[in-house]
Amino acid sequence: MLVSIVIPCKNEGENIVMTLDSLFTSINKADYEVIVIDDGSDDNCCNGIVERYETIKLYGTEGLGAAGARNYGVQKAKGDILIFCDAHLIFSNGWIDKLLSLLGKCDAISPGIGIIGDSGIAGYGLTWDESLKAQWYTKKPKVVKAVPFLPGGCLCIKREVFEDIEGFDKGSIVWGHEDEEISLKLWLFGYSCCVYPEALVLHKFRTKHPYKVTSEHIHYNFLRMVYSHFNEQRMFKVKAMMQDNYGYNEALLKLSTSDIAMQRSRYFEKRKHDDDWFFSKFGILF
């Protein structure tokens, strides 16, 4: 099977070179193609990478956002297996092969995510706390572990599963909560999300985005997830929790003019489980 590695990139500087150098020097048996989506970078980070790495496919877009750039990459991909990667990663030998070995048991898989420059710390999937803030699992599991959320920074999924769940939320903007939304959707649509602890990829964690991300962007994406998947009681609880947050009113107004009602209806008809099932399965109190 051909694996398509989709890498969205925006103002990544030398990180994209670091990522591609590491990818092409890592040893794997799998046959793969690499697709880079330059989503409106203004730092020239993707200039010259086609000449440097002759086998990659580079496509330019203008501000599709993290979710949209990934979806666009899938349109250009030829593989039956999709791996979404951030443009600031370092890979170990065999990481692709290890993820592929579990696709018969899990529908979507991520490796452990370590920190570039600090090999002693790693995360193995994420969950929510009581205020729906994402929290990493930092204890390494002994076996493959089912988790609520996979990090989109390195996520492996069959194309047929990705297409069945309609990919990343097509209404998502800029950046924020796209990883949680697609993981939640996988579970609700009857699929599974797992972490393979013996595969490890290192990630460059940053304190600041290399492009503009506002509170309104993040709140809007979060509200899209809530309105797409939560029952009315949880929706009201989220609104009460967020109502005083900066940018919330603007995000809510934008949501009211979006396609969210149609998406909610479509998702509710298609899903195999409801949000009560999900919160109970993972012991999330909300």
Domain ranges, residue 128 = 2-203
pLDDT grade, residue 119 (50/70/90)? confident
**Nearest one of 82, 111, 73, 113 to 94, comparing CA atoms:** 111
Q: Is residue 189 part of a domain?
A: yes
- pLDDT of 148 reads 98
> Which regions of 147-284 does DSSP assign to beta strands (E)?
154-158, 193-203
Query: Considering the chain, what is the average pLDDT of its residues?
Result: 97
Determine how β-strand 2-9 pairs with β-strand 81-85.
Answer: parallel
Greater confidence (120 vs 286) lies with: 286
Q: Is residue 208 part of a domain?
A: no
Query: Do 75 and 108 belong to one domain?
Result: yes
Query: Do 167 and 82 belong to one domain?
Result: yes
Query: Do 272 and 156 belong to one domain?
Result: no
Domain count, the chain: 2
List Cβ<8 Å contacts ≥24 apart for 63-67. Answer: 63/39, 63/174, 64/37, 64/39, 64/40, 65/39, 65/172, 65/173, 65/174, 65/175, 66/8, 66/152, 66/168, 66/172, 66/174, 66/175, 66/176, 66/178, 67/168, 67/169, 67/170, 67/172, 67/178, 67/221
Read off the CATH number of the domain in which 41 is found: 3.90.550.10
Query: Do 174 and 36 belong to one domain?
Result: yes
Average pLDDT over residues 29-36: 98
Query: Do 184 and 60 belong to one domain?
Result: yes
Helices (H) and strands (E) in the chain, counts: 11, 12
Query: Do 74 and 24 belong to one domain?
Result: yes
Give the global pTM: 0.97
Query: Do 90 and 119 belong to one domain?
Result: yes
Query: Do 117 and 225 belong to one domain?
Result: no
pLDDT grade, residue 120 (50/70/90)? confident
Q: Do 62 and 10 contact (CB within 8 A), yes or no? A: no
CB under 8 Å to 243, separation ≥6 — which residues? Answer: none
Query: Do 99 and 239 belong to one domain?
Result: no
Q: Name the burial class of residue 116, with classes exposed (0-12), middle (13-18) and buried (19+) by CB atoms within 10 angstroms of its CB.
A: middle
Query: pLDDT tens-digit profile of 225-261?
Result: 999 999 999 999 999 999 999 999 999 999 999 999 9
Q: Which of 183, 203, 223 is the last residue of a domain?
A: 203
Query: pLDDT tens-digit profile of 197-211?
Result: 999 999 999 999 999
